[in-house]
Amino acid sequence: MAQQEPYIPLLPKPMTLPLSHAELLRAVETQSMIGGGTPDRIEGNKYYFRVGLAFLHSPNREIYEPIDIAALRDGWMLEPLETVFVVSVERLVIPQDICVTLMPSSLLEDRKLQLLGECRIGPLFNGKVLLGIFNDSEGAFEIDAGLRYASGQFEHLAGNELSSAFNN
């Protein structure tokens, strides 16, 4: 008699539904959920964050202060094996039934740059987005104030996802 494979139950899919383009646009225009946001940073149902402040961590350079904002406007070079921690211009005020999934921009992925930090923002978060960008490539990469380094997909929580957001 052939041995039967053990039954493994499938986990239910998360109960989230992305905000529509119109909902995201309304959140930016009213400054209700994305304070300091601008409509030109919305693509489809994603919002691309802007660099507001940056700090360097480098094995080769000693910089103990934030990178000068004028240097960010003109473009600042992130050397290989360096990490820059960026704080968004935008301030998020996330309601209890919304979460945000952060993803690196395609530009970062194409250039072999890694996004470091918490990539899921839960309900009731109130603050700016802080992420690191690690240069794992062999060449320098220009960081500027307009860089689309990460996008956020805002999602409605429902069912078990909504109740589990408050049990963690």
Report pLDDT for 71.
86
Distances (CA, A) of 156 to 32, 35, 148: 15, 19, 24
* Structural contact between residues 149 and 116, judged by C-beta atoms closer than 8 angstroms: no
Q: Is residue 4 part of a domain?
A: no
Closest CA to 120 of 98, 102, 94: 102
Closest CA to 56 of 45, 67, 47: 67
Q: Is residue 150 part of a domain?
A: yes
Tell me the per-residue pLDDT of 137-151, one tens digit each, with 9 for 90 and over: 999 999 988 889 999
Q: Is residue 59 part of a domain?
A: yes
Please count the structural domains in the chain. 1
Domain of residue 85, CATH code? 2.70.40.10
Q: What CA–CA distance (Å, rounded) separates 161 from 168?
A: 11
Q: Is residue 65 part of a domain?
A: yes
Report pLDDT for 70.
85
More confident call, 126 vs 160: 126
Q: Can you give the residue range of the structural domain that contains 46? A: 16-163
Report pLDDT for 74.
87
Tell me the per-residue pLDDT of 8-65, one tens digit each, with 9 for 90 and over: 555 455 578 999 999 999 999 999 999 999 999 999 999 999 998 899 888 888 876 7
Report pLDDT for 116.
92
Q: Is residue 62 part of a domain?
A: yes
Q: Is residue 5 part of a domain?
A: no
* Structural contact between residues 62 and 53, judged by C-beta atoms closer than 8 angstroms: no
Q: H-type helices in the chain, by residue range?
A: 21-29, 69-74, 106-110, 159-164
Q: Is residue 1 part of a domain?
A: no
Neighbours of 97 (CB within 10 A): 14
Q: Is residue 7 part of a domain?
A: no
Tell me the per-residue pLDDT of 56-93, one tens digit each, with 9 for 90 and over: 888 888 876 788 888 888 888 999 999 999 999 999 99
More confident call, 63 vs 128: 128
Report pLDDT for 117.
85
Q: What CA–CA distance (Å, rounded) separates 75 from 131?
A: 18
Report pLDDT for 44.
92
